[in-house]
């Protein structure tokens, strides 16, 4: 089987070698990372059983990328939070939330690059996004806060007690403030 649903099929053998059936060549995890960065879709199958092991191979790539460089993408606090959701009732919600968050982040990054290019032309600063890094950090902080609030909405009761009305009002106020901050940030980006 050379292809499945238009994706490139990578076979993983017992000796841990990876074989790209699309190009008929052996590849490394680094090669697969480059394929991901290029936007090439692939499926990794166990060569013996035919099981889809794409998830574990992608996780292995992330592990290698995190350990290879000093620039990690996954902060310890995020990893701790992520681990805490395994086996929790929220485990079913987290993957969807993370997928939507990454999609939104990618769309915002694309929009920001386009706006920087329009504002500053083909200047290297517009490509590297060095100037608006503080805006991105603020956005990440807000996204994290919104994630924490969303998780609280799914489990609002602590030790079987209903939260006080004041707490719910404060949470609603915080959400309104976050929405206003997002609008303000979008206006700033639009003005660039």
φ, ψ for residue 27, nearest 5 deg: -130, 165
Largest CA distance in the chain: 64
Please list the pLDDT of the chain residue by residue as tens digits (192 residues): 344 456 799 999 998 899 999 999 999 999 999 999 998 999 999 999 999 999 999 999 998 888 886 778 888 888 888 888 888 887 888 888 888 888 888 888 888 777 777 776 665 554 555 455 566 666 777 777 777 777 666 655 544 455 556 666 666 777 777 777 777 777 777 776
pTM for this prediction? 0.57
CA dihedral 148, 149, 153, 159 (to 10 degrees): 60
Do residues 116 and 131 lie in contact, with contact meaning Cβ atoms separated by under 8 Å?
A: yes
Give the Cα separation of 67 and 55 in Å (integer).
Answer: 18
């Amino acid at each position: 089987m050379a292809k499945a649903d238009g994706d490139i099929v990578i076979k993983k053998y017992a000796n841990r070698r990876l074989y790209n059936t699309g190009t008929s060549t052996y590849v490394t995890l680094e090669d697969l990372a480059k394929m991901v960065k290029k936007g090439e879709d692939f499926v990794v199958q166990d060569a013996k059983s035919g099981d889809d092991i794409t998830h574990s191979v992608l996780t292995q790539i992330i592990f290698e990328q995190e350990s290879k460089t000093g620039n990690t993408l996954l902060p310890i606090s995020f990893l701790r939070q992520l681990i805490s959701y395994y086996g929790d009732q929220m485990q079913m919600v987290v993957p969807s939330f993370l997928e939507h968050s990454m999609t939104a982040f990618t769309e915002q990054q694309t929009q920001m690059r386009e706006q920087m290019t329009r504002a500053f032309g083909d200047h290297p600063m517009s490509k590297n996004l060095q100037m608006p890094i503080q805006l991105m950090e603020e956005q990440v902080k807000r996204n994290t806060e919104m994630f924490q609030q969303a998780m609280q909405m799914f489990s609002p009761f602590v030790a079987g007690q209903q939260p006080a009305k004041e707490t719910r009002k404060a949470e609603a106020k915080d959400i309104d403030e976050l929405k206003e901050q997002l609008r303000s940030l979008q206006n700033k980006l639009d003005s660039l």
